[in-house]
Amino acid sequence: MTEPNIPVTEDELHAYVDNELPAERRGDVEAWLAAHPDDAARVQSWRAMAEALHARYDAVADEAVPKRLEIERLVQQPRRWMYGAVAAALAAFIVGGGTGWVARGATAASSTFQNFTVDALDAHRLYVVEVRHPVEVPGSERAHLQQWLTKRCGWDVRAPELAASGLKLVGGRLLPGPTGPASFLMYESASGERFTIYTAKSEAEATQMRYAAQGSESALFWADRGVGYVVSGGVDRGRLTQIAQAVYDQMEKSGG
């Protein structure tokens, strides 16, 4: 019998989302979520992202693994490697020649997550405190900003519309990334709260959102179609998740 007063761990939340939590602990986790709205919001965001990945990649997961990439563990458990990402591993996909397959595991993905979030949070801290020169190109020149960053970065850079989240585009700049150039967009609320979106080339084709926090800042990372995204802001995880989900949704609709 489990003790209901034992705090719920991060691993248990992931297991709950993946339906891998022991039945005797499920009631305790649901009671915990009812009393902890921040954790409930995280679980909801993980489920939404998992559903989006299922809708997009279920057909890919059923395809045959190319012979040159036949790795026994991946062949035996393709779905577990893909959707077990919710339980603390980031799923990575390689798509080529019309065939998709799982090709990387938790170690490489975790390294990508760490590199991206460290760089993104460093840039966030450096520029959000700037008053006169927080960006290179102002938000009033959105079209030019997107065109310039797209040309320099090599993928379709879009500055999402975040007015529904109470944010206005301040502008953006070009930064060095883990493997080449990175785009950096800054948004600001009416109260002066700033959020940033950092994007750069990523080896991971698609991943779940993953959260990180350092001091008074936090970030959510994910990757899609070879581009990694990090949305950074304050420590209000629910607010950050809402903004990151809005960014993700618009990137999905625009196709990049």
Q: 28-32, 81-85, 143-147: which range is least confident on average? A: 81-85
CB 90 within 8 A of CB 110: yes
Return the higher-pLDDT residue of 204 and 197: 197
| pLDDT (tens digit per residue) in 34-80 | 988 888 887 887 777 666 655 555 554 555 544 444 434 333 444 43
Last-in-domain residue among 104, 135, 164: 104
Q: d(Cα 22, Cα 230) in Å, to the nearest integer?
A: 33
* Co-location of 164 and 217 in the same domain: yes
Return the higher-pLDDT residue of 51 and 29: 29
CB 101 within 8 A of CB 67: no
Residue 87 domain flag: yes
Per-residue pLDDT at 17: 81
Last-in-domain residue among 104, 129, 145: 104
* Co-location of 236 and 217 in the same domain: yes
Owner of token pair 């926090």: 213
Range 115-138 average pLDDT: 91
Residue 1 domain flag: no
Owner of token pair 């500055």: 159
Contacts of residue 162, Cβ cutoff 8 Å, sequence gap at least 6: 168, 169, 187, 243, 246, 247
* Co-location of 50 and 122 in the same domain: no
Q: 21-30, 33-42, 83-92, 247-256: which range is least confident on average? A: 83-92
Q: What is the CATH number of the domain that holds 174?
A: 3.30.200.100
Residue 3 domain flag: no
Per-residue pLDDT at 52: 61
Q: 9-23, 68-82, 98-112, 148-162: which range is least confident on average? A: 68-82
CB 85 within 8 A of CB 91: yes
The dihedrals phi and psi of 15, each to the nearest 5 degrees, come to -65, -35
* Co-location of 114 and 93 in the same domain: no
Per-residue pLDDT at 14: 77
Residue 4 domain flag: no
231 has which bridge partners?
197, 220
* Co-location of 77 and 120 in the same domain: no
* Co-location of 113 and 171 in the same domain: yes
- Domain of residue 141 covers 106-254
Q: CA-based angle 224:228:234, to the nearest 5? A: 120
* Co-location of 136 and 248 in the same domain: yes
Name all contacts of 98-103 with Cβ < 8 Å and 24+ positions apart: 99/63, 99/64, 99/66, 100/57, 100/60, 100/61, 100/63, 101/60, 101/63, 101/65, 101/66, 101/69, 101/74, 102/61, 102/65, 102/74, 102/78, 103/69, 103/74
- Report the predicted TM-score, pTM, of the whole model to 2 decimal places: 0.60
| pLDDT (tens digit per residue) in 146-178 | 999 999 999 999 999 999 999 999 999 999 988
